[in-house]
Structure 1
């Protein structure tokens, strides 16, 4: 049985750890709020771009660009989003596991030399290099300082390689931020772009709360029902409108903008998911520390009481002998 001094030292150690986890939880909560604001600021642009594209689709326009043409897959690129730091639960482990599973599936059919990794985040970069994958650059700064221009540059690089035939398929792997308590591991095709499936993807996000509670989940369900009631099918702006210079020319401009938006949205979702996962992990660690402190204090009090009882018995025994 440990001595009183050992138990007291362990209580002090757990207390120090609890202070750290509690402070990290508060920091993660603040960063999550900023990430939610960044997503909220992006939504008006996303809404307007989708309105324009849905209008074209509702007009049943027969238009094609080089970015939505299916062709035999011979070379693949995976754009994988992770964090630069740890202590965020299974966030990075899930991303890396998904990357390995997807890469292995493509390597089996295409060969290791035809699968490339575009890592965004230090954790996935280090793991991809360790596993011997073909890694295209390091973009760790994009996680700490998300910037639209960096996303545009990456989307343009991938788009140009796809147009030249150097890549036949590009996949995105990231966490979709649904709420502070729910981040969904997502894999979707970036190129060739399927406009219809992209416009019908899950837009549901809770950008108002940092609290992980059952009430927050119920709020999301109610919000989804309201959105379903309000959602209406997009109709053309005019039954017989004319597009200048041509539908193909307009779509060739809009499609790259949609690609830029897809990369930027995935980056913001991944960053918000990282902070949410870290906040939950630190909250869990703090709760575990509280429970451990309760058990240690109980053990300390029992040991102290036992020591006092033993000393009293010694004193009483000595008095009787005298």
Structure 2
């Protein structure tokens, strides 16, 4: 009987856990749908802005923006996007692993010349474990991407680049592909390499006012800020997708475990009833 009670308690415990994982799955799924709508609206805007940059820059040899300059890397800034919470599979671990890999490739610069901007407590914890100091606390904005926060951080990086305090900026984040697929991306943020797409040409009948150089001067900071915001929103969308998948798997596993425990409970209960009947029958024969 003690074993039956133990199995019954386990079944109740698993069912309670299943209710929690199921609720978390539904919450993550709702947040994912909202983030997906935002990223779907932002992607075309960000891509068209960059295409304008490519087309304009490729047709104006005299444009000399400091954001286009490639110089020897003596000091680098790395921005890594993760989350504040877990229960999202390997979402945070993948970012931490990629960050370690990128840092290792720049070890020759010295620890003091590798500036880390961790967006999210999980990656900030990984930064501390590697013996680095974060350039700021961005946990408050990790799960709530906004253009204003992206503008501030991107603006700071741009100013440092213009002053020569850093020579390169890289971003590490998850790119959302589908609900079940998110890819870790490591891409340059600064300097910009405005290469014209293959097969594209700037149409000569376009009228550009006041002039291409003036437009590019205003367009480049806008593009960089939008790109930073897009990366953050992409990361958060991927986080919700990863958590939805992880909680769905946990819920399904809990359902399977409940079925196994219920089957075991019924077998033991049937065996216990059979033993009691045998004892009754045996006692009846003994009394005769």
Shared topology, TM-score over 0.5?
yes
Deviation at 1:146, TM superposition (A): 1.5
Match of 1:139 in 2: 138
Q: Does 1:19 align with 2:19?
A: yes
Give the equivalent residue in structure 1 for 2:87: 87
Instruction: Output the CA distance in 2 between the equivalents of 1:241 and 1:61.
Output: 18
1:181–1:237 distance in 2 versus 1, CA, 3 Å: same
Change in CA separation of 1:53 and 1:260 when aligned onto 2, cut-off 3 Å: same
1:235 to 2:201 alignment: yes
Count the aligned residue pairs: 287
Two-structure CA RMSD over aligned residues (Å)? 2.1
Structure 2 CA distance for aligned equivalents of residues 82 and 71 of structure 1: 29
Partner of 1:171: 170
Q: Structure 1 residue 307 and structure 2 residue 272: aligned? A: yes
Matches within 5 A, 1:109-258: 109-196=108-195, 233-239=199-205, 244-245=210-211, 247-258=212-223
Q: Distance in 2 between matches of 1:294 and 1:2?
A: 20
In structure 1, list runs of 5 or more residues that go unmatched. Answer: 201-231
Counterpart mapping for 1:67-78 below 5 A: 67-78=67-78
1:84 deviates by 1.1
Is 1:49–2:14 an aligned residue pair?
A: no
Q: Is the 8 A contact 2:67 2:192 kept in 1?
A: yes
Aligned partner of residue 135 in structure 1, secondary structure: coil
Q: CA deviation at 1:185?
A: 0.4
Residues 87-145 of structure 1 deviation map (CA, whole Å, 9 limit, x = unaligned): 111000111111112112212x1111110101111111122123321311111122232
Given the superposition, is the C-alpha separation of residues 258 and 242 from structure 1 closer, same or farther in structure 2, using an over 3 Å criterion? closer
**Contact 1:180 1:276 (C-alpha < 8 Å) held by counterparts:** yes
Could you list the per-position Cα deviations for residues 145-200 of structure 1 after superposition, in whole angstroms to 9, with x for gaps in the alignment? 2110111111111011011110011110000011111100000011111223xx87
Separation of aligned partners in 2, 1:265 and 1:284: 29
Contact 2:58 2:194 in 1 (8 A): no
**Contact 2:83–2:142, Cα closer than 8 Å, also in 1:** yes
In 2, the alpha carbon distance for the partners of 1:7 and 1:67 equals: 65
Listed as ranges, the gaps of 5+ residues in structure 2 are: none
- Equivalent residue, structure 2, for 1:218: none
CA contact (8 A) 2:169 2:191 kept: yes
1:35 match:
35
Distance in structure 2 (CA, Å) of the matches to 1:50 and 1:111: 33
TM-score (normalised: structure 2): 0.93
Q: TM-score, normalised by structure 1?
A: 0.83
Residues in 2 aligned to 1:287 and 1:113: alpha-carbon distance in whole angstroms: 47
Q: Which runs of 4+ in 1 moved over 6 A?
A: none
